[in-house]
Structure 1
């Protein structure tokens, strides 16, 4: 065997061209994605990985080992989905094995490392399935290692690419679901596309193509209905991915513990970081455990069940979107196919996903252990763009109802993302609810009922805008500190009320700003004033429906419910915990009532 060296600049160039080749074909990968779940996002996930590699390898490398180190680190940070994490583990495996080689820049060391790394890729998967990306990776590595003589990568790569293509084509015969849909495995094809671009660039020394889309643009998800019509409903609802740092447990220990929470488990660990992928109904419990073995630094959760139902049994031609501050029962949201943009909560060094990886009752326990105040942030622009990219392929129009613009930047983020809707036939409207919590939830409920009744989009938007003025939320708060600290109520008035121990009713004005009124000296007096206001509203304009919400204070909320039934004469539409973001500002023990009034409402 020769010890011919690899030019590190040519190697990096080939890696980057392979990444671009895959990014350019991500839509096709989404279309053929039927295994393990028909969620149509394999291309999007692999494109996200490749975009991260491109972003993280802009700086000049000075050696082959440095190229692989940067690729390995970037892939661990950018990996998403089953195939993405296997990809990342394989790249990390190549780097780890290359470190053990005497000649780290030789062709011999490279081909040896790509073969040895196969075992690490397999180890990342709880139950390896042949006929997927892992099979094609193995075929490529073994093809490079055939024969006793290793001359140059220019001689080895073309034949290896041919054998990789054969392995890819064979995946259709290896898995029944692929054979039924007459497609190759999407992850396997993603790896082949990368290797194809890598090979052509390394041999020809020319760029294979330019990226057809800007980096960080929304990743368009296009799913073929005909390909997916035979897919079954997913057993587990959430595709959960978490990146943790400072890992203290072995891969085997983490796999053993997490296997009880779902399936499709993949654990990739390198240099103190771990990328976890699992399909689960309990993403909050998955994160609870991972908090004990390391520091979570990234999270991503996709609602596979909602995506499946939209793909197979869409309820209406208009998509309804809100954010997680809108308090609505989880079953109602799923059953009515309402799409929710999650807010983010930072507690200590960990960022959580509202109502997914953290619930409000968990928040209060976690927050007790922190010296710094927890903070929240609106969904990222990329998150919103990605959702719109999916929705515009499924719906004729999209209505978004956000939390009050005076309370959050969500409205403006969504408005910006809406500019990037690419389909000229998809109408979109973003409405500032000028409400929050259950009042926002009741507005979403009204809009959903109108959508289900079949009204046109223009009338839907008009009704929704008009309905905003007929909603009201009244909040009883024991401790004003959280609202003062978060800026949800006027600082001056809040501090005065706190100083003399007054218990005000907290609400929102017509612009969606926090206000204080009806000051009392006790919670009991505060509650009586709220009941009195609601009775007056009901008498003047009729309360059509109402909801009771609370911040980890179910007992107090149930007392309110009984009082309201007695005075209003009917049951609340729902009673539930408030969102974590609202819990942060309302404080533990808070209880609120949101009402929808009829025409001619006197909101007081």
Structure 2
């Protein structure tokens, strides 16, 4: 693929490089229309964005000069694997990796070499898919490769004929998949492959034109994520909730071994492998278990877990015109989050240089085990700007207004990151309010719960924002710390102070001040005394303020949490609104075996406690 010599047999590496770039641009330019026609395997409207991610990786990686055809193919294959997203992206990446595998380092690359490699790589593309479905990208890939004529010396003629066959195969996809016929569309992934072929073939046919035609500014503009409003609906509730993707690195990554390892965890599995990397896509109810098993195969480089069930609920039965967003530090029952269609940005947990998604790709008990092995070296970070912008892109097409309630800005950069991520959407006229809760954990969760209830009652956007801001002053959290290691490690009890506190077995009760910063409410010398002191604080609040609801949370100590909940119930006369595991990000600083109570009080000025 590239400039042909007079014999029309040898392909030039520069023309090949530019052909890959032109093919990538052709896909990126049609990203929105690909999103709109995306109905298979699920109508989540992201095939165009997923393929655009892969194509951006190819463009970035091919923005340099190469010494050989082999180098070009290897660079493209590696970039595709790292940047692939979604079923179609990973199938495409595997095809490119299969293609690259066929290329010999020193051989002159002729039309015959190209055709033979294109045909051989089809087997790799099929092998990536757990259950190949005809009428999709894989069908068009096969039809294109099989139509290439190895006897034709002129690659321009071969590719032009091949493109015609690919277009015909694309046109036939609705006859092979009923869901395509029902929605009167061709397969989005297959269309993406044809778009790539159109750009690729066009550049190959420009014999002698090797000047760069890449407009970086245009590419960046086209790549801004915009998941378009889809007019297509899910036919049924997804059997597996999370669209889970992982990129791993390791030696001897065998495709069949990875598929066998994960086959009982979900469906729609696609596994693409390169020389030392593998990209895995699976729909699963257990994304954390997917990660746990894959850690045995190699080092995890990337991961994501999109909530398809929430997408289904919003697409088929959107409840409210106002979107409610929070971060995963807000401890709320999972069933409430789904029922009220609350969108949660997961915090990042970094353990042994691997970035996990809080409450999605790592479970609390597993975190505690891993953290003990790593001697408390885990850390956390706020959601990435890209993740924030992706969410806003999705929400602005489905909601009239957006309210975001974040963890206290004094504790995390999440509030600032979300404010930054919202700017370009606000400039376009999207109404977004970002509220610093000045709380964390279940206290933040109670504020989000109140906001959800006000949205459900039909309160106006401005009224809800004002009420949430006011409610911050009547919400409080008290944490009974049982182990000081985490507080010392996180710097909450610095240096010599922490060592002395450990030596005398101090058990502090910590809270947040009016600005959301950490504060110590009291200390005791035993767990039992600590709980008594905690209950005393609750009684004092009840005397001065009317507690309307409370939640109990814990870090791997449910037994202690339930015991304390019974004591609070006896005092207040009603049960906790919920009892659950604390956010692992909070547990990183409060420590394992801590328990906490979050309280929401009547809306009046609090007295000094």
Q: TM-score range by the shorter chain?
A: over 0.9
Asked whether 1:438 is paired with 2:442, we answer yes
- State the distance in 2 between where 1:30 and 1:368 align: 44
Following superposition, the deviation at residue 528 of structure 1 comes to: 0.8
Relative to 1, partners in 2 of residues 1:317 and 1:202: Cα closer, same or farther, differing over 3 Å?
same
Relative to 1, partners in 2 of residues 1:249 and 1:18: Cα closer, same or farther, differing over 3 Å?
closer
Relative to 1, partners in 2 of residues 1:60 and 1:325: Cα closer, same or farther, differing over 3 Å?
same
2:16 to 11, 15, 18: 11
Report the counterpart of residue 407 of structure 1 in structure 2: 411
Following superposition, the deviation at residue 213 of structure 1 comes to: 5.1
Tell me the secondary structure at the aligned position of residue 99 of structure 1: coil
Report the counterpart of residue 203 of structure 1 in structure 2: 205
- State the distance in 2 between where 1:161 and 1:26 align: 20
Conservation of the 8 A alpha-carbon contact between 2:17 and 2:72: yes
- State the distance in 2 between where 1:460 and 1:492 align: 45
How many pairs were matched up?
A: 599
- State the distance in 2 between where 1:422 and 1:84 align: 31
Conservation of the 8 A alpha-carbon contact between 1:10 and 1:202: yes
Report the counterpart of residue 276 of structure 1 in structure 2: 280
Report the counterpart of residue 560 of structure 1 in structure 2: 564
Conservation of the 8 A alpha-carbon contact between 1:546 and 1:572: yes
Report the counterpart of residue 224 of structure 1 in structure 2: 230
Following superposition, the deviation at residue 238 of structure 1 comes to: 0.2
TM-score normalised per structure 1: 0.95
After superposing the two structures, state which structure 1 stretch, 344-353 or 121-130, moved more: 344-353
Following superposition, the deviation at residue 103 of structure 1 comes to: 2.5
Report the counterpart of residue 467 of structure 2 in structure 1: 463
Q: Give a deviation string over 1:354-402, Cα, whole Å, max 9, x none.
A: 1011121111111222256011111110011001000000000111111
* Equivalence map 1:227-306=2 (5 Å): 227-228=232-233, 231-248=235-252, 250-306=254-310
Following superposition, the deviation at residue 500 of structure 1 comes to: 3.7
Following superposition, the deviation at residue 536 of structure 1 comes to: 1.1
Asked whether 1:374 is paired with 2:386, we answer no
Relative to 1, partners in 2 of residues 1:16 and 1:563: Cα closer, same or farther, differing over 3 Å?
same
Conservation of the 8 A alpha-carbon contact between 2:136 and 2:190: yes
Conservation of the 8 A alpha-carbon contact between 1:437 and 1:582: yes
After superposing the two structures, state which structure 1 stretch, 360-369 or 338-347, moved more: 360-369
Q: Give a deviation string over 1:341-361, Cα, whole Å, max 9, x none.
A: 011111113221110111211
Report the counterpart of residue 483 of structure 1 in structure 2: 487
Following superposition, the deviation at residue 426 of structure 1 comes to: 2.2
Report the counterpart of residue 34 of structure 1 in structure 2: 39
Following superposition, the deviation at residue 501 of structure 1 comes to: 2.9
RMSD, matched Cα: 2.0
Asked whether 1:171 is paired with 2:169, we answer no
After superposing the two structures, state which structure 1 stretch, 239-248 or 118-127, moved more: 239-248
Conservation of the 8 A alpha-carbon contact between 1:395 and 1:426: no
Tell me the secondary structure at the aligned position of residue 95 of structure 2: helix
- State the distance in 2 between where 1:422 and 1:38 align: 27
- State the distance in 2 between where 1:423 and 1:181 align: 35
Asked whether 1:149 is paired with 2:152, we answer yes
- State the distance in 2 between where 1:96 and 1:545 align: 62
1:46 to 45, 51, 59: 51
Following superposition, the deviation at residue 516 of structure 1 comes to: 1.0
Following superposition, the deviation at residue 212 of structure 1 comes to: 4.1
Tell me the secondary structure at the aligned position of residue 60 of structure 1: coil
- State the distance in 2 between where 1:327 and 1:420 align: 29
Relative to 1, partners in 2 of residues 1:441 and 1:566: Cα closer, same or farther, differing over 3 Å?
same
TM-score normalised per structure 2: 0.95
Tell me the secondary structure at the aligned position of residue 151 of structure 2: coil
- State the distance in 1 between where 2:59 and 2:114 align: 21
Tell me the secondary structure at the aligned position of residue 115 of structure 2: helix
Report the counterpart of residue 137 of structure 1 in structure 2: 141
Relative to 1, partners in 2 of residues 1:236 and 1:384: Cα closer, same or farther, differing over 3 Å?
same
Relative to 1, partners in 2 of residues 1:217 and 1:564: Cα closer, same or farther, differing over 3 Å?
farther
2:457 to 439, 448, 453: 453
After superposing the two structures, state which structure 1 stretch, 576-585 or 195-204, moved more: 195-204
Conservation of the 8 A alpha-carbon contact between 1:472 and 1:603: no
After superposing the two structures, state which structure 1 stretch, 196-205 or 574-583, moved more: 196-205
- State the distance in 1 between where 2:494 and 2:568 align: 29
After superposing the two structures, state which structure 1 stretch, 343-352 or 561-570, moved more: 343-352
Unpaired segments of 5 or more residues in structure 2? 1-6
* Equivalence map 1:345-356=2 (5 Å): 345-356=349-360
Conservation of the 8 A alpha-carbon contact between 2:116 and 2:150: no
Relative to 1, partners in 2 of residues 1:231 and 1:491: Cα closer, same or farther, differing over 3 Å?
farther
Q: Give a deviation string over 1:505-547, Cα, whole Å, max 9, x none.
A: 1111011111112111112111111111111111211111000
